[in-house]
Structure formats: structure tokens, C-alpha cells
Chains A and B, each alone.
Chain A
Amino acid sequence: MAGDEVLVAPNILEYPYKRTVGPIIGRFLTGLRERRIEGIRATDGRVLCPPVEYDPANGESLTEDAFVPLADTGTVTTWTWVGRPREEHPLDHPFAFALIQLDGADTGMLHAVDAGERSEMRTGMRVRAHWRDEREGAITDICCFKPEQDA
């Protein structure tokens, strides 16, 4: 009679996705490649970063003339500590994921903060973007944010 144990095998799911970005996201990512961060002004005057194609409040189309330059510094509005980074995480030592409201923007952008220790993190702290040496036009062109005083 056949054995009774169920069989188990690894199943690897891989997709090489390439996504077209369109003019709004494309402009933001092109800016990142040039170490430039931009936001977009929504219909109520709020500046959203990262920029979106449609105003989340009312669905109105937002266009390129609504882009607004932003600083590469900002404030942490919330954070969480990653004590044991996963392989796919942006940093390989403990770090924080955070929402960072860049100076000039009214909304937070999700990114990594390389603060060294959990005790260094707090809501309201000031951070600055650190750029990769080789950039390709992606959110990861910003390697991470670091506490402003460490810059």
C-alpha cells in the first residue's frame, strides 16, 4: 500500500513585472533620479507627496502643472521598529519604517529611517533623505532617511 504521509514540495512563484508609470508618477521618479523630490497640489490646496494622479478626496484628475518642489527634509509623523529585517527590506540592520511629511507637503510618505536604535525614534523627529550613489528612477533611489542631526 502507498505510504500515508502527505507530500510537500517548495513552490516558487516569481514574476519579473515591469510597470509603466505614466506622466505623474514618472515625473516624480525622474526627479528622484536627479535627487529632487516633488509633491502635487490637490484641488483643496493640500500638497500630497508622493504625488498621485487623482485627488483622493474627490477623484479629480491632477496634472503636471500642479507639481510643487519639496525639500529633502521632513518630520516623522508615525513609525514602527523593524528589529529583525527581512531579506527584502531596504536595510539589513534594524531600522524604522515611518511616514515622513516632507517640508512643504501636507501628507506623509512611507520610507525607511536609519536611526540606529529604537530609542532614537520618536514621532516629530526631523529626518533627511539619503540618496543612493546610483539611481534609476525608483522610490529606492532614496536609500533611507536619517536623523537630521546625523546628516
Chain B
Amino acid sequence: MRDVAVVSFAQMPSVRHEESRNEVEMLMPVVAEAIERSGIGRKEIGFTVSGSCDYLAGVPFAFVAGLDSVGAWPPIQESHVEMDGAWALYEAWVRLQYGDIDSALVYAFGKASMGDLPKVLTLQLDPYYVAPLWPDALSMAGLQARAFLDAGHTEAEMAEVAVRSRRSAKDNPNAQVRGDETVDDLLGRPYVAAPLRAHDCAPISDGACAIVLAAGNVARDVCDRPAWITGIDHRIEAHGLGVRDLTTSASTRTAGERAGVGSKPIDVAELYAPFTHQELILRDALGLGDGVSVNPSGGALAANPFMAAGLARIGEVAQRIHRGDASRGVAHATSGPALQQNLVCVLDAEGGK
């Protein structure tokens, strides 16, 4: 296996509604910053891959316009996934294993504000048995949250996750939701999809981020402290909610084991948990103890640029390693209803041989 590292990360502040710029106008400065920080020239990058979802804009092939922000002339090697950018990064990592190129640009973006995201996400569901009932994304998460509570947890535990997220987000200039509320403050508010309250749910966010990956000596040349990817794996569970155990995340557990999460201590974890109960399920699935700093960025509850939020988790861990604030971290991304599909990426300052 070739050593591949994150050598740069850039993101834009997530906002409820990016009113004036289109996706390309939004993306250009983010991509430019990631490339500039990487120390690798734009035209030297060997492969470009993006993650986005055309259904956020309601325009077929909307993602193609994103290439205007990259400057795809002369023609470049490029790919795209209709998924969160974390899976685009997985593809870039696989591509780099081939050995003929040494760097890749990964970017992700979305303006969920343009449409009705909770309704759009019903398009992910079984089209025969489930989608005709149109259970929106909050309801799907609510089904899992109720099962979580029935398994012996409390709404207060969920609210604590939100409290921590909002407080941590105060230190994150790119976050959207920040605050100093207490558990009691939050529990006094109404349900939006009982047992979920507004604070239990990630916001709608417009946003974008980009990462540059580099392999071996190229990474060592351009970056003082590369965030080496020492393990990366993703797993998916069965489609039907009714055949899954919603109170655990078997796919995250397996992906975490395959990525080698537990082989050395973890300093920091960025988990893509758009619902409070999911952060607790994921912590357990990854075996993260109390000593781990979870979602110091505030996580998805503070900013949820849909399609970029998972890639941002990888970036947030990587940049903490770059700055020397952490040595080893785990980043997680999710896709599908109630944690159906999960990607785990382990980053380590000491990963490059």
C-alpha cells in the first residue's frame, strides 16, 4: 500500500442560505485555497474527484458545473460520486494506490437551501414499500432515536451532545450553529419529530470544502506534518430499516476495525452525526473512550453542508494534525437513512514510513 496523506484542507463558512453566489462562485475560492495551501501546482495535480448531489439543485448533471472551479483545460483526469465527498476521497485514495500519479484534489459542495432536503432524501428509500409513504429524513432519524431511547438512553443524553456541539462551535469560524444553552434549556423546547427536537437535528447548510491528497515523498516535500491515512474503509447495511438493529452501527464497527481505529490511542474524532443520538451510537461503535475529543469543530450539528460535511470531518481531523494539535484521529462519514452506510478514515502524523 502506498502512503497517502491529506496535505491541505479548505472550507467555506457554512450558512443557512448562500443568497447570491451559485455553486461555482462558492466553490472557486475554496478549491483555490486548498490548492494554494497544498504547495502543489494546479496543473500538476494528477486526479480530481468531487462529491455532490444533483437533487440538491434539482438540475440533472448540476455537478458538472463544479469543474469550472477547477480549470479543466488542458483536459484532466476526473471523477465524481453522487455522494458525500468523503467517498470521493476514498476513490482518490484508491486511485493513488495505482502508483502513476502522486496527488489528487477532492472537493465537495452543496446548496441544500434551494430545495426541501428532508423531502429530497426520501428519494434514497425503497421505492416500492417505503418512499410512497414519503417518510421525511427527520422521521427516519426519529425512528432510530426512539429505538435508542428504548434501549435505555435518555433525551438528556441526546441534549448533552447538542450542548457540547454548540459550545465547541464557538471556536469554529466556519460553524453555523453556536450557543451556550444548557440541557434544561434545550429539553424545554418542542419536538420536531418526537423524540427529536430541533437541537437534535443538524441544520440545513450551504457550503463547500476541498482537500488535496499527496503520496509518499511528494507529501513529505510539500507538507511539514502530513496527516497520513493509515486506514480507510466503508461498509453498508441492509436497505430495509426493519431488518437492521438501529441502536448500534454494525457497519461503522466493521469499518472502524478494518481501518484499524483501535490499534493505537485516538486523540480526536470527527463523526458525521447529523442527529444527537447518532453521535452516541457512533462513539460506541468506534470504541471511543472518554479521553477522545469528539467533534471539536462542533460536528454536523453545528454545520451540515450536505454532501461536504463528511469530507469536512476528514479535513477537520487532518488540519488538527497539520497544526500539531493532534497526533492521531478518526474521521467518519455517513450516508443513507439512520446510519445505513458509514466510512471511517484514520489519520496519523506518524503514518508515513
Binding site for B on A (CB under 8 A): 6, 11, 13, 17, 19, 21, 25, 29, 48-50, 52, 56, 77-83, 86, 88-90, 97-99, 101, 107-112, 118, 123, 138-140
List of A residues within 8 angstroms of B135 by Cβ: 97, 110
What are 21 A-B pairs with beta-carbon distances under 8 A?
A29-B128, A48-B242, A77-B147, A78-B144, A78-B147, A78-B246, A79-B143, A79-B146, A80-B138, A80-B146, A81-B142, A82-B193, A97-B133, A97-B135, A98-B143, A99-B242, A107-B240, A107-B242, A108-B241, A110-B129, A110-B241
Pair A109/B196 contact, Cβ less than 8 Å: no
List of B residues within 8 angstroms of A56 by Cβ: 238-240, 243
Pair A13/B58 contact, Cβ less than 8 Å: yes
Pair A80/B119 contact, Cβ less than 8 Å: no
Which of A48, A99, A118, A123 is packed against the most chain B CB atoms within 10 Å? A99
List of A residues within 8 angstroms of B133 by Cβ: 89-90, 97, 110-112, 139-140
Q: Which of B57, B128, B140, B145 meets A25, CB within 8 Å?
A: B128
Known: A80-B195, A97-B135, A110-B130. 13 other contacts (CB 8 A): A6-B19, A11-B114, A25-B128, A56-B239, A80-B146, A81-B194, A82-B193, A88-B134, A97-B142, A109-B242, A110-B143, A111-B133, A140-B133
Binding site for A on B (CB under 8 A): 19-20, 57-59, 114, 119, 127-130, 132-136, 138-140, 142-147, 150, 191-196, 238-243, 246
List of B residues within 8 angstroms of A29 by Cβ: 128
List of B residues within 8 angstroms of A101 by Cβ: 242
List of A residues within 8 angstroms of B119 by Cβ: 86, 88
List of A residues within 8 angstroms of B130 by Cβ: 110, 139
Nearest CB on B from A68, distance (A): 15
Q: Which of A11, A17, A83 meets B194, CB within 8 Å?
A: A83
Nearest CB on A from B24, distance (A): 13
Pair A138/B194 contact, Cβ less than 8 Å: no
Which of B20, B133, B145 is packed against the most chain A CB atoms within 10 Å? B133
User: In this complex, what residue of B is CB-closest to A107?
Assistant: B242
Count of inter-chain pairs, beta carbons less than 8 A? 105
Pair A86/B240 contact, Cβ less than 8 Å: no
List of B residues within 8 angstroms of A140 by Cβ: 132-133
Nearest CB on B from A122, distance (A): 9
Nearest CB on A from B339, distance (A): 14
Given contacts A81-B191, A81-B193, A107-B243, contact A139 B146 (CB under 8 A): no
Pair B196/A80 contact, Cβ less than 8 Å: yes
Which of A89, A108, A118 is packed against the most chain B CB atoms within 10 Å? A108
User: In this complex, what residue of B is CB-closest to A144?
Assistant: B133
User: In this complex, what residue of A is CB-closest to B58?
Assistant: A13
List of A residues within 8 angstroms of B57 by Cβ: 11
List of A residues within 8 angstroms of B242 by Cβ: 48-49, 77, 99, 101, 107-110
List of A residues within 8 angstroms of B58 by Cβ: 11, 13
Pair B143/A78 contact, Cβ less than 8 Å: yes
List of B residues within 8 angstroms of A108 by Cβ: 241-242
In the complex, A97 Cα to B125 Cα: how many Å? 14
Nearest CB on B from A129, distance (A): 13
Q: Which of A78, A90, A107, A111 meets B146, CB within 8 Å?
A: A78
In the complex, A19 Cα to B132 Cα: how many Å? 12
Q: Which of A52, A77, A79, A90 meets B240, CB within 8 Å?
A: A52
In the complex, A74 Cα to B128 Cα: how many Å? 21
Nearest CB on B from A142, distance (A): 10
User: In this complex, what residue of B is CB-closest to A21?
Assistant: B128
In the complex, A50 Cα to B241 Cα: how many Å? 11
